[in-house]
Chains A and B, each alone.
Chain A
């Protein structure tokens, strides 16, 4: 038994040492992988979507070697701060509250409207039970709505399921996330007015990582300048505002 323990320790240590010699840092891109079309896992189990294409292009322009990792939304900020990956690129809107803990790059989307969905088009979102993902700007928005009751879920997928099985009357999330679902399913409708929340989506970075932030900012700027960012937005997020 002790041998097993020793072997595991030895394994981690030697794995660490073996790579200690080679330099050059890989930027680890942390994402959720459960928020299409921003980021999701494709049939092969690899990260895909708007942010995958965007992130790969940004890394190319900033001359960085990047690698994709998925992490639970709930612990996505703590794991960035403790250094398990170097960026959050997970459809995270820039808010003051988050900005106190981490830093953001310049936004790579304009503030995207958030929309309500429900099973019938005459649900009054101001007086109903509304599902939203924990720790999102949508959840804090519902919490601040007077007549509405918030129910929170760990994944965006579960908010849709809650609407379908009647646990919630409506759900609130980025319109870009709901659009393909409303399109594909005949019994789900957009209801109420769209709301504009947050300051656009940006890359989350550690506050001490100023250099990396500058690199990404420059890359985002160059993609804005030559119009390639708009092309990507039009491709993946039809209906969203472009720069």
Chain B
């Protein structure tokens, strides 16, 4: 059921038969061999990792944002405080500090709880000087689990951290959007006898998206470009591989020696990110037209007149 983040790359067996001695070939044939080494496969795989991360994190961050925004405008005081604290706290801490501190704290927190549950008769302290020691059975993932479990775990931590960070920003956007829905709309709903929950679900939420979308679109763009932070969590992303592959290689350590090619790899990354953000922009623009339909906004009014 789990998906592998880093498939066991076939051991050295080149994809093309003519790749056995790369020093004898040149031109396109050499390039095709070079671009199909195990290391390059890892690069292509990391592209998929980044796309998968975005596909999971986008909705997850939106869910966190929706929860945060709903909590922040709740009529229950503790819930409201919680929502507002979440938004203020996470928005105020630099991403990089959050990624370094929070993930290690979260990881150790999980291991601490498992340790308490699984090894009740453990008598040594958990903190020994600089070391954080829990019993073997409490390790997350276990010390003897294969590498892909470690990677999947790292990936899951990454998704959670991204979702919490970007969720706070999304919460702020949604909170503002909810307040931007014209008061008259809600009053009319009240006049029809709807209760608070009905108004929230049937009137407020459907109308707020059009106000939220520009802010959410911005966030999505920032999220796309924030993926190099992944390497802080031990997930090897495209920027890591571009740097590793682009660095100059001497003949002693590789069959494909080359000078510093990082500029080409980074150029490829640039194109990748530009294409990706451009597609995102087009999708967001479409979505905006869709959401504006029949709304009490200037753009909605313009659409009505044009129709």
Could you list which residues of chain A lie within 8 angstroms of chain B, going by C-beta atoms?
1-2, 4-5, 8-9, 11-12, 15-16, 19-20, 22-26, 28, 33-34, 36-37, 40-46, 48-49, 65, 67, 69-72, 75, 78-79, 81-84, 86, 101-102, 155, 157, 160-161, 164, 180-181, 183-185, 206-208
B137 nearest in chain A by CB position:
A20
B17 within 8 A of A: no
B42 within 8 A of A: yes
Interface residues on B, range: 35 or more
- Nearest 6 Cβ contacts at the A-B interface: A44-B38, A1-B63, A157-B247, A45-B39, A184-B250, A45-B38
Complex Cα distance, B146 from A15, in Å, reads 10
- Tell whether, in the assembled complex, residue B244 and residue A41 are in contact, meaning their CB atoms are under 8 Å apart: yes
- Tell whether, in the assembled complex, residue A82 and residue B144 are in contact, meaning their CB atoms are under 8 Å apart: no
Q: List 7 A-B contacts (CB under 8 A).
A: A15-B145, A16-B142, A26-B143, A42-B39, A43-B12, A48-B253, A49-B253
Complex Cα distance, B244 from A70, in Å, reads 12
A82-B132, A155-B243 as given contacts; A45 in contact with B250, CB under 8 Å: no
Q: Which residues of A contact B136 (CB under 8 A)?
A: 23, 25
B 149-169 binary contact with A (CB < 8 Å = 1; else 0): 110110010011001000000
Q: Which residues of A contact B129 (CB under 8 A)?
A: 207-208
A41-B244, A86-B143, A160-B248 as given contacts; A81 in contact with B60, CB under 8 Å: no
A15-B149, A207-B129 as given contacts; A42 in contact with B253, CB under 8 Å: yes
Question: 5 new A-B pairs (CB below 8 Å) besides A15-B2, A20-B142, A180-B250?
Answer: A4-B60, A20-B118, A46-B38, A83-B111, A86-B143
- Tell whether, in the assembled complex, residue B130 and residue A24 are in contact, meaning their CB atoms are under 8 Å apart: no
Most B-side CB within 10 Å, residue of A16, A86, A161, A164:
A16
Complex Cα distance, B63 from A71, in Å, reads 32
A165 vs chain B, min Cβ distance (A): 9
A16-B140, A25-B143, A67-B147 as given contacts; A34 in contact with B250, CB under 8 Å: no
Most B-side CB within 10 Å, residue of A20, A37, A48, A69:
A20
Q: Which residues of B contact A81 (CB under 8 A)?
A: 130-132
- Tell whether, in the assembled complex, residue B254 and residue A16 are in contact, meaning their CB atoms are under 8 Å apart: no
Q: Which among A40, A72, A79, A184 is the interface contact of B257 at CB below 8 angstroms? A: A184
B122 within 8 A of A: no
Complex Cα distance, B41 from A98, in Å, reads 36
A15-B2, A78-B104 as given contacts; A43 in contact with B255, CB under 8 Å: yes
Complex Cα distance, B250 from A36, in Å, reads 10
Q: Which residues of A contact B145 (CB under 8 A)?
A: 15-16, 19, 26
- Tell whether, in the assembled complex, residue B256 and residue A44 are in contact, meaning their CB atoms are under 8 Å apart: no
B108 vs chain A, min Cβ distance (A): 7
A62 vs chain B, min Cβ distance (A): 16
Complex Cα distance, B111 from A80, in Å, reads 15
Q: Which residues of B contact A37 (CB under 8 A)?
A: 252-253
Most A-side CB within 10 Å, residue of B41, B132, B247:
B247
Complex Cα distance, B250 from A180, in Å, reads 7
B128 within 8 A of A: yes
Q: Which residues of B contact A161 (CB under 8 A)?
A: 247-248, 260, 262
B13 vs chain A, min Cβ distance (A): 9
A181 nearest in chain B by CB position:
B250
- Tell whether, in the assembled complex, residue B62 and residue A1 are in contact, meaning their CB atoms are under 8 Å apart: yes
Q: Which residues of A contact B232 (CB under 8 A)?
A: 72, 75
- Tell whether, in the assembled complex, residue B39 and residue A208 are in contact, meaning their CB atoms are under 8 Å apart: no
B254 nearest in chain A by CB position:
A43
Complex Cα distance, B254 from A102, in Å, reads 33
A19 vs chain B, min Cβ distance (A): 4
Complex Cα distance, B155 from A4, in Å, reads 14
- Tell whether, in the assembled complex, residue A71 and residue B130 are in contact, meaning their CB atoms are under 8 Å apart: no
Q: Which residues of B contact A49 (CB under 8 A)?
A: 253
- Tell whether, in the assembled complex, residue A45 and residue B104 are in contact, meaning their CB atoms are under 8 Å apart: no
Q: Which residues of A contact B94 (CB under 8 A)?
A: none
B73 within 8 A of A: no
Complex Cα distance, B168 from A58, in Å, reads 48
Most A-side CB within 10 Å, residue of B143, B160, B231, B232:
B143
B293 vs chain A, min Cβ distance (A): 24
- Tell whether, in the assembled complex, residue B234 and residue A84 are in contact, meaning their CB atoms are under 8 Å apart: yes
B195 within 8 A of A: no
Most A-side CB within 10 Å, residue of B1, B108, B131, B156:
B131
Complex Cα distance, B250 from A76, in Å, reads 25
